[in-house]
Amino acid sequence: MIRKIMLVVVLVAAVFLSKPLWEEKVSPYVDVSFMDTVSDKVMSVIYTPAISDAVDSFQDTITSMIIDIDDAIQQAPSLESTQSMETVEKPDLTAPTEQMFSVYNVKIGDARQEVEQEIGEPQRQSSNEYGTDWFTYHENFGNFLMVSYNEEELVNGLFTNQDLLASSSDITLESSREEVTAELGEPLTSLRKGMVRYQIQNNGEYDVFEVDDSYATVFYDKHEEQTVTAIQVIHQSLEESRKEIYSSPSDPLKEGFEYQLFDLTNSARVHHGLMPLVWDDQARETARKHSADMADNAYFDHTNLDGQSPFDRMEEDGIRYTTAGENLAYGQFSSVFAHEGLMNSLGHRENILKPDFGYLGIGVAFNDEKQPYFTQTYFNQ
Q: Model pTM?
A: 0.81
pLDDT tens, position by position, 1-14: 444 444 444 333 33
Please give the pLDDT value at position 73. 31
Query: Which residues are within 8 A (CB) of 299 and not within 5 positions of it... i.e. 6 or more apart?
Result: 305
- Number of helices (H) and strands (E) in the chain: give both, helices first: 10, 18
Predicted local distance difference test score (pLDDT) of residue 381: 85
pLDDT in tens, 316-367: 999 999 999 999 999 898 999 999 999 999 989 999 999 999 999 999 999 9
Q: Which of 70-79, 149-158, 222-231, 233-242 has the lowest mean pLDDT?
A: 70-79
Residue 199, CA atoms < 13 Å, CB-side half-sphere: 13
The model's pLDDT over 99-133, given as tens digits with 9 standing for 90+, comes to 999 999 999 999 999 999 999 999 999 999 999 99
Could you give the C-alpha distances from 345 to 121, 266, 350, in angstroms and in order?
Answer: 33, 17, 9
* Average pLDDT across the chain, whole number: 81
- Provide the terminal-to-terminal Cα distance of the chain, rounded to the nearest Å: 62
Structure confidence at residue 307 (pLDDT): 92
pLDDT-based confidence at 202, cuts 50/70/90? low
Rounded mean pLDDT, 186-200:
80
Domain ranges in the chain are 101-245, 254-380
Asked if domains 101-245 and 254-380 share a fold, the reply is yes
Residues 6 or more apart whose CB falls under 8 angstroms from that of 3 comprise none
For 101-245, CATH gives 3.40.33.10
For residue range 15-55, what is the model confidence (pLDDT) as tens digits?
333 332 222 322 343 333 444 455 333 333 333 332 223 33
d(CA 143, CA 101): 16
State the pLDDT confidence band at 215, using cuts at 50, 70 and 90: very high
What CATH number matches the domain at 254-380, 3.40.960.10, 3.40.33.10, 3.20.20.120, 3.30.450.20?
A: 3.40.33.10
- 10 Å CB burial of residue 364 (0-12, 13-18, 19+) is buried
Phi then psi dihedrals of residue 264, to 5 deg: -65, -40
Please name the amino acid found at residue 215: Y
Mean pLDDT, range 237-254, rounded to an integer: 92
Contact assessment for residue 242 and residue 251, using Cβ atoms and an 8 Å cutoff: no
Residue 85: pLDDT band (50, 70, 90) is: low
Indicate the burial class of 226 (C-beta count within 10 angstroms; 0-12, 13-18, 19 or more).
middle
Where does the chain have alpha helices with state H? 2-23, 79-82, 112-119, 177-184, 236-241, 251-271, 281-297, 310-316, 335-343, 346-352
Residue 354 and residue 268: Cα distance in Å, rounded? 11
